[in-house]
């Protein structure tokens, strides 16, 4: 299963839970320019970030990146997502390896529900900030989503 497959599974899951904007592979334009595997916004305006990991080595390597993302989340510095989630597929991670600022969603292909992989929230992501998404941030996410849509559409027209 690829990151894109997991993004598709998460899209369906989050849409059912009332998230209004769900954008894959968005550069997080609000905090240090880091890239997000998936960003969603709830009806109440809270932004969630999902870091997708498809191997244990990929998960462990995330903590060695020099971009300061984890320090920013840990210190709850301004302009961070309201909630930060790790999403795993195909491997087990110890609950103790999940930082206190993160939640854990596990996707399993061995347990299917209505022919879809099961999704289990193993650790609820804590609320890191009560700041809601601003209109400027919504516009930026909309532009990213809109551009991705048109690039995909144009690509498929020429295939």
Q: Which strand ranges, in their side-by-side order, compose the sheet holding 102-113?
A: 21-27, 35-41, 47-53, 83-89, 102-113, 116-123
Quote the pLDDT of residue 29.
58
Rounded to whole angstroms, the Cα distance separating 47 from 18 reads 13
Query: What is the spatial distance between Cα 42 and Cα 21, in angstroms, rounded to a whole number?
Result: 7
When pLDDT is averaged across residues 131-144 and rounded to a whole number, the result is 86
Domains in the chain: boundaries: 3-158
pLDDT > 70: percent of the chain: 91
pLDDT band at 156 (very low <50, low <70, confident <90, very high): confident
| Residue 122 CB neighbour total at 10 angstroms | 13
What is residue 33's predicted lDDT score, i.e. its pLDDT?
A: 65
SS (H, E, C) 116-140: EEEEEEEECCCCCCCCCCCHHHHHH
CATH 3.30.420 fits 3-158, yes or no: no
What was the pLDDT predicted at 31?
53
pTM attached to this predicted model: 0.88
The lowest-confidence range among 21-25, 73-77, 109-113, 155-159 is 109-113
Q: What is the pLDDT of residues 74-95, one digit of tens each?
A: 888 777 889 999 999 989 899 9
Question: 71-83 burial string, b = 16+ CB within 10 Å, else e?
Answer: ebbeeeeeebbbb
Distance between CA 52 and CA 84 in Å, rounded? 11
pLDDT at 98: 96
Average pLDDT over residues 51-73: 85
């Amino acid at each position: 299963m690829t990151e894109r497959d997991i993004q598709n599974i998460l899209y369906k899951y989050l849409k059912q839970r009332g998230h209004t904007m769900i954008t894959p592979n968005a550069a997080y334009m609000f905090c240090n320019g880091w890239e997000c595997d998936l960003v969603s916004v709830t009806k109440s305006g809270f932004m969630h970030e999902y870091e997708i990991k498809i191997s244990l080595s990929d998960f462990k390597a995330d903590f060695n990146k020099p971009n300061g993302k984890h320090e920013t989340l840990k210190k709850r510095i301004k302009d961070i997502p309201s909630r930060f989630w790790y999403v795993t597929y195909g491997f087990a991670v110890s609950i103790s390896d999940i930082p206190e600022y993160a939640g854990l969603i596990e996707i399993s292909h061995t347990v299917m529900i209505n022919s879809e992989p099961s999704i289990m929230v193993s650790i609820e992501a804590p609320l890191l900030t009560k700041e809601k998404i601003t209109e400027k941030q919504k516009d930026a996410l909309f532009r990213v989503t809109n551009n991705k849509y048109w690039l995909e559409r144009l690509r498929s027209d020429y295939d």
